[in-house]
Amino acid sequence: MKNKFWNEASHCGAILGLISITFTFAGMYLPQTADVIISGLNFVLTIYLLFYFTKRRASQFTKEGYTYAQCLGFMVATGLFTGIITGAYQIVASNFFFTDYYNELYNTMIATYAQVGVFDNNMMDMLKNTMHSYTFSPLPVLISNVLAMSLSHGFYGLFIAIGTKREADIFDNTTSDEE
């Protein structure tokens, strides 16, 4: 039963990851004014699919029920796999396919922090190294994506699990009390 949990979580997480990648990819080619719409659509679709996948999983447990904690755990597990998929995409995209886009993104972030004027030269150098690492280095990218997706799915799950949990069937008469 535990193996089925991880198989289903990985399948659902992969679907959510591919959808997130699709919206990220679309956002690269659409005007910046469409970013809000793209992000909104991604958010709504993620919430809907988390609800759908968790509700579908909970419906498999008619007799014993599927608790709030189990629903929440399932959504966090899907976040792990979504983070692996999106992290792998960002590693490949930033280092091989869309290096110019990610370099421009990195340079814009650094220029924004430099304009704020709060950081001295040493802090700016540390910030540049850290931002470069979180944009291009495989391990920090993967870890940050896994943590971000797990936490966001967990946060969404705090609310979604209320509607997806399934109470145990108290009127189940399938147990036999033969003497």
Distance in angstroms (rounded) separating the CA atoms of residues 96 and 89: 10
State the Rg of the chain over Cα: 21
How much is the pTM? 0.84
Taking only the tens place, the pLDDT of each residue in 164-177 is 888 877 776 555 44
pLDDT at 174: 58
Taking only the tens place, the pLDDT of each residue in 17-61 is 999 999 998 888 888 788 889 999 999 999 999 999 999 999 988
Domain boundaries, the chain: 2-164
One-letter amino acid of 169: D
One-letter amino acid of 49: L
Q: What CA–CA distances, in Å, run from 58 to 87, 90, 124, 179?
A: 28, 32, 49, 33
Distance in angstroms (rounded) separating the CA atoms of residues 48 and 50: 6
Distance in angstroms (rounded) separating the CA atoms of residues 140 and 146: 10
Taking only the tens place, the pLDDT of each residue in 97-155 is 988 988 888 888 888 888 887 777 888 888 888 888 888 889 999 999 999 999 999 99
